[in-house]
Amino acid sequence: GCLQWSCTVSPNKNATTYETIHFSEWLKSMRKDVECIFGIMKGRFIILRYGFRFHSIEKCDQMWLTCCALDNLLLNVEGLDKNWDHGVISDWERFNSQHPGDNYNLQVKT
């Protein structure tokens, strides 16, 4: 589940309107993408796997940004950055392009 912090937004499990269901599904899809990226980064950089031993948020931010920059560089060196000029289609965008309109088959609890 999601942490109940004031800065986090959790999907609505009891959604009844199309807009709320749509937003909740989009939010879940985006969270999965972010979790996937964190997993990839933790697999590539051991310091992310076992945690930072820094005492300041600024140092943690610098380490995270350094890992992101190195990951982008390695993607370039490995040739995995080709065809990324226009971005990558997310699972959510792919789903919506295959199912235009209101053909989501979403069930609304009553």
pLDDT at 23 over 60: yes
Q: What is the pLDDT of residue 109?
A: 46
Tens digits of residue pLDDT in 40-70: 899 999 988 887 787 888 988 999 999 999 9
Q: How confident is the model at residue 3 (pLDDT cuts 50, 70, 90)?
A: low
Per-residue CA distances from 105 to 10, 20, 76 (Å): 22, 14, 40
Tens digits of residue pLDDT in 64-109: 999 999 998 988 888 777 766 666 666 667 766 654 444 444 444 4
**Average pLDDT of the segment spanning 24-30:** 85
Q: What is the pLDDT of residue 7?
A: 67
H/E element, 68: helix 57-77
Q: What is the pLDDT of residue 110?
A: 44
Q: What is the pLDDT of residue 30?
A: 85
**Average pLDDT of the segment spanning 25-44:** 88
What is the chain's mean pLDDT, rounded?
77
Q: Environment class of residue 107 by beta-carbon count within 10 Å: exposed (0-12), middle (13-18) or buried (19+)?
A: exposed
